[in-house]
Amino acid sequence: VPAALRGKIWQVLLGVLNKKANLEVWAEDSEQVEDQQVIRADVQRTRQSIPKFKTEQVQHDLEMLLVVYCKRRSVKYTQGLNELLAPFFDLDLDTGSIFNCFYALVQKFLPNTLRGHDLKTLRRSLELFKLLLRY
């Protein structure tokens, strides 16, 4: 699949093409989530070998999207979600579309990864996701 089409294809496959994310409402909420510091630390460690992920803008967007996700789903942050979100930043999508793809992926294919603190399920899911992104 040509790189220029991957973002659109992911949106179609996840059923979020042309869907509005309404991030402003959640992002403006100044209340922090319980694990804000853990999220921030994970974001700072996310894919640091790739220059894009060292930029202030990408780190801000990663953190904001993870916080919005936790607030919308009323869940505690689970370490590793940052790695599920990160690949969508390589698809040349706007922030709302990145969030919609991430949200849909977790809801449709990984609904049980946030139950409890058993990271085995999340690790297996990350391996599967890594394979999917190759194609």
Using only C-alpha atoms, the chain has a radius of gyration, in whole angstroms, of 14
Within 10 Å of residue 120's Cβ, how many Cβ atoms? 8
CB distance 101 to 11 below 8 Å: yes
What predicted TM-score, i.e. pTM, was given to this entire model? Answer: 0.81
What average pLDDT score do residues 56-70 get? 94
pLDDT digits (tens, 9 = 90+) for 24-59: 766 666 677 778 889 999 999 999 999 999 999 999
Rounded to a whole number of angstroms, the distance between the first and last alpha carbons of the chain is 7
- Does the CA dihedral 85-103-132-18 come out positive or negative? negative
pLDDT digits (tens, 9 = 90+) for 8-19: 999 999 999 999
The pLDDT assigned to 30 comes to 63
Average model confidence (pLDDT) for the chain? Answer: 85
The pLDDT assigned to 114 comes to 58
C-alpha triplet 95, 10, 38: angle, nearest 5°: 50
Percent of the chain whose predicted confidence (pLDDT) is above 70: 81
The Cα–Cα gap between 32 and 40 comes to 11
The pLDDT assigned to 123 comes to 66
